[in-house]
Amino acid sequence: MRFLASDANCLLKRSFQGYNEEWRPPPMAAAAILSLSPTALNATNEAQIAVKPGRRRWMHLFKAFLRACQVTLVMSPLLATLPIVYVTRHIFPWLRRGWWACALWSIEALGPCMVKFMQWASTRRDILAPEVCDLLEPIQWQTRPHTWAQTKQALSTLRADWADVLCIDTDKSAMVGSGSVAQVYRATTTAQLADDARDATAPPPAPRVVAVKVIHPGVKRQIEADLELLRIGAWLVEATGHLQWWSVCDFVEEFAQIMHKQLDLRCEAEALDRFRANFAGRTDIMFPRPSWPLVNEFVLVEDYVSGVPISNILKDPAWPVQEKKAIARSGLDAFLKMVFLDNFVHGDLHPGNIFVRHDTEAHKAKPHLTFIDAGIVTELTQQDRRNFVDLFYAIATGQGEAAGRLMIERSRRHECQDPEGFCRGISRIVEEATAGQHLRLGKIRVGFLIQKVLALCIQYKVKLESNFASILLAIGVLEGVGRSLDPELDILAAATPVILKSRYFQTKKED
């Protein structure tokens, strides 16, 4: 219980006091303070208090209860004052601005899961009012940072002589952004970093500008508490009976795996290397190159990306329309390649993670896009990938009933008593989305389409595949960005050749 009490105290201080030099984590080793992975927590619990499995479950429930109390405590003042702010929004605009400032503080205080959700919400101008999206937009790149002292503590886990190979200014200009789980500094490597290249015989590289990404301290504890709360909520939702066909518990576990990978920066470095290999033949799509000698679980050193973030382009009405359309098309082409050809998808493509550059002759005709923050990636098994490609092929070719049959035949579980009715329902949704053989972002609402599919799954008792959840979420985020850049972009016209190519390679591989 002593360790649990310190855990709750850490959560409350992290949320309500923010980051300051007076805050100190519980007395543990530096690496343990920074990691606090589920494995490390279980090992510490077993070593210190020898918790039995039954008692450990009660501890998880108690931690979830504490987290629920914290969420209630933070959100209650906002919900209580919302009617007053709404009624007086034109009379007292200063009250409205103050309420939104408190709302942003509360979002940051509730931790990375809430910040990540609001980052996604800020891209959905088709669901939320544009004014609300504008107010939520700053959390895409700037949340409350941790202190320089805590950054040095993380860097010390990288190597003892980190100050000899990395030059980071201590002023505020060195920090270029702070996200939901980490913050980024601009730094310069020195010529002493001779092992930056994996080839030992290669000459030492010249000093170069890099980005240093550092995990927020205590963030893993917060995410674990949020996941426990989500698991309980998912169990309660599925316990109602009808909603079990949404695979809510499976979705939560899928989300948990994604979040755990994001908290280990070695996974992000490996993902960047794989993306760079997948797009090696492209000059218009780039990913930062990690410096492997300077990568561990808590710190990632990679190429510094210069350019204009898409978030700035979206806010600039003077930006050329044709260039916005070219950016949208390049981004869609890259995403389709990830989904249908590479089976390795960047799952966090909000406007703050895509940069545009036109500074070389090679990129004058076509925008040069750089994708950063590859901590969230999705990869399907071969069977799930086959199901996913076949399903979208049926949708792209207007075979709605065939898509419905595929969902039933390849569902892990269903109790559908009227397969024909389910197939007709899916067919109506496909016909509505692809009316006139077009699927333009300005006319469709992917969120509403998914909502209709979920309703059909409940009505006909067909279990939705949880493996597709992360890809559908990535599609939703990118859809919001693409809609703002080019509402007339036809997804169907762009996706059909890629899907056909994917099916060809898939059939050839099976033969």
State whether residue 178 is helix, strand or coil: strand
Candidates 480, 478, 510, 447; CA nearest to 339 is 478
Q: Would you say 122 and 140 are in contact if contact means Cβ atoms under 8 Å apart? A: yes
Distance (Å) of CA 475 to CA 90, 331, 350:
36, 12, 11
Task: Return d(Cα 175, Cα 249) in angstroms, integer.
Answer: 38
Query: Up-side HSE of residue 42: CA atoms within 13 Å toward CB?
Result: 8
Task: Return d(Cα 151, Cα 262) in angstroms, integer.
Answer: 18
State whether residue 379 is helix, strand or coil: coil
Contacts of 322 (CB under 8 A, 6+ apart): none
Q: What are phi and psi of 370, to 5 degrees?
A: -120, 125
Altogether, the residues listed in the chain come to a count of 511
Q: Strands 182-189 and 345-346: what pairing?
A: unpaired
Q: Would you say 189 and 7 are in contact if contact means Cβ atoms under 8 Å apart? A: no
Q: Would you say 253 and 49 are in contact if contact means Cβ atoms under 8 Å apart? A: no
Let me know if 171 is a catalytic residue: no
Task: Return d(Cα 394, Cα 404) in angstroms, integer.
Answer: 9
Candidates 499, 388, 381, 390; CA nearest to 439 is 499
Provide the token pair at 97: 């601005």
Q: Which of 7, 250, 264, 348 is catalytic?
A: 348
Q: Which residue has the tokens 């544009």?
A: 130
Q: 212 forms bridges with which residues in the sheet?
A: 185, 301
Side chain identity at residue 430, one-letter code:
V
Burial letters 298-315, b for 16+ CB under 10 A, else e: bbbbbbbbebebbbebbe
Q: Would you say 25 and 11 are in contact if contact means Cβ atoms under 8 Å apart? A: no
Active site residues: 348
